[in-house]
């Protein structure tokens, strides 16, 4: 994946995290159910967390790692989680804000604890591809069983706690770094096919969600629950398409802007909901326009705050994984 494509994916992850979580998790006088535009934004933004794991996998694949790297990653995760959980319990106003989820930290903890196995797999291409394919089939199968037998306890695990799904996206990011795979996804025909397919994949996933998961769709207040295996093909297509982007005008400005935003991906993911809560307290939401403006302001503010935090060697430790 080239630098431009990687920065586009990371920026897209920032933007979709803001739109998805602020709309989906905000209970106010103008909730996302009240207008189709908010529902549409929620739907197209469900790629946020999967993209995060894909990016993490790709970045981690860029070099070989030893035990010290593993321990460093686990230590960073622990530090970030303890810091924000402490803020959450000690500072009452923040309790209405966003908290980095335990399942998110746990998923990365498990991945990094067993990272030597990931590196071993990455050196055996066929076995690696077979493992990713097996995880994909397993994820789809579990989702199917969870819908067919919703009352069975073993099939009632919430999507965010399905560790195998996040491992699937992480390994996919690793796979994109493989020289043979990287060469294939960079082909013009593959990129054009991905671009052409994206609207149809989105349409398919909408019908898949609305009709196949109809019972769950109704039970969750008409919410979209696409957070796992259902959007795997979409995430892969978006990543391939982003890799084919080439700027022709104002290249330096566009590349610089993307690079600046992309660096804040983790910070935006952690901070944006608290920023939205503060903005919504200052600016009451009473219309669709107000909410859309607040979402845009949340994104810009979160990026700005994260950029400032990253400039400090001490502060950046609590907004980077």
State the pLDDT at residue 220.
Answer: 46
Q: pLDDT digits over 168-195, tens only?
A: 999 999 999 999 999 998 899 999 999 9
Under DSSP, the state recorded for 149 is -
Residue 248 has pLDDT above 70, yes or no: yes
State the pLDDT at residue 82.
Answer: 85
State the pLDDT at residue 208.
Answer: 67
Torsion of CA 38, 260, 185, 199, to 10 degrees: 20
**For residues 285 and 100, which has the higher predicted lDDT (pLDDT)?**
285
Neighbour tally for 208: CB within 10 Å? 14
- pTM attached to this predicted model: 0.87
State the pLDDT at residue 92.
Answer: 58
Arithmetic mean of pLDDT over the chain? 81
Residue 20 has pLDDT above 80, yes or no: no
Q: Percent of the chain at pLDDT above 70?
A: 86
Q: pLDDT digits over 212-246, tens only?
A: 554 444 444 444 444 456 688 889 999 999 988 88
State the pLDDT at residue 42.
Answer: 76
Name residues whose C-beta falls within 8 Å of residue 134's C-beta, 6 or more positions apart in sequence: none
Residue 204 has pLDDT above 90, yes or no: no
Q: pLDDT digits over 101-159, tens only?
A: 778 888 999 999 999 999 999 889 999 999 999 999 988 888 777 767 767 778 777 77
**For residues 238 and 43, which has the higher predicted lDDT (pLDDT)?**
238
State the pLDDT at residue 25.
Answer: 54
**For residues 200 and 64, which has the higher predicted lDDT (pLDDT)?**
200
State the pLDDT at residue 57.
Answer: 93
Residue 50 has pLDDT above 50, yes or no: yes
Alpha carbons 307 and 264: distance in angstroms, whole number: 6
CA pseudo-torsion sign 184, 129, 2, 63: negative
Q: How many helices (H) and strands (E) does the chain have?
A: 15, 0
**For residues 95 and 17, which has the higher predicted lDDT (pLDDT)?**
17
Among residues 25, 272, 34, the alpha carbon closest in space to that of 160 is found at 25
Q: pLDDT digits over 252-305, tens only?
A: 888 888 888 888 888 888 888 888 888 888 887 777 788 888 889 989 999 999
């Amino acid at each position: 994946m080239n630098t431009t494509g990687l920065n586009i994916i990371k920026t897209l992850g920032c933007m979709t995290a803001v739109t998805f979580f602020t709309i989906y998790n905000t209970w106010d006088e103008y909730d996302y159910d009240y207008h189709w535009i908010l529902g549409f934004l929620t739907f197209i933004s469900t790629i946020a967390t999967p993209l995060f794991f894909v990016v993490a996998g790709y970045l981690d694949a860029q070099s070989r790692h030893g035990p010290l790297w593993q321990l460093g990653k686990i230590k960073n995760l622990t530090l970030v989680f303890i810091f924000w959980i402490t803020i959450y319990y000690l500072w009452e106003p923040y309790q209405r804000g966003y908290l980095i989820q335990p399942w998110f930290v746990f998923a990365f903890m498990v991945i990094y604890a067993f990272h030597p196995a990931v590196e071993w797999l990455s050196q055996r291409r066929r076995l690696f591809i077979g493992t990713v394919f097996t995880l994909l089939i397993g994820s789809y199968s579990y989702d199917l069983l969870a819908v067919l037998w919703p009352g069975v306890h073993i099939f009632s695990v919430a999507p965010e706690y399905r560790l195998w799904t996040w491992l699937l996206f992480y390994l996919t990011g690793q796979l994109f770094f493989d020289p043979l795979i990287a060469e294939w996804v960079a082909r013009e025909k593959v990129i054009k096919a991905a671009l052409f397919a994206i609207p149809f994949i989105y349409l398919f996933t909408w019908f898949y969600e609305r009709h196949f998961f109809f019972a769950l769709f109704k039970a969750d207040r008409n919410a979209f629950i696409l957070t796992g295996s259902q959007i795997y093909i979409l995430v892969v297509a978006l990543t391939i398409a982003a890799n084919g982007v080439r700027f022709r005008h104002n290249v330096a400005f566009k590349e610089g802007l993307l690079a600046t935003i992309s660096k804040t991906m983790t910070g935006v993911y952690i901070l944006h909901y608290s920023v939205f809560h503060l903005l919504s307290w200052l600016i009451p939401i009473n219309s669709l326009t107000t909410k859309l403006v607040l979402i845009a302001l949340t994104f810009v503010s979160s990026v700005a705050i994260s950029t400032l935090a990253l400039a400090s060697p001490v502060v950046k430790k609590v907004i980077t994984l």
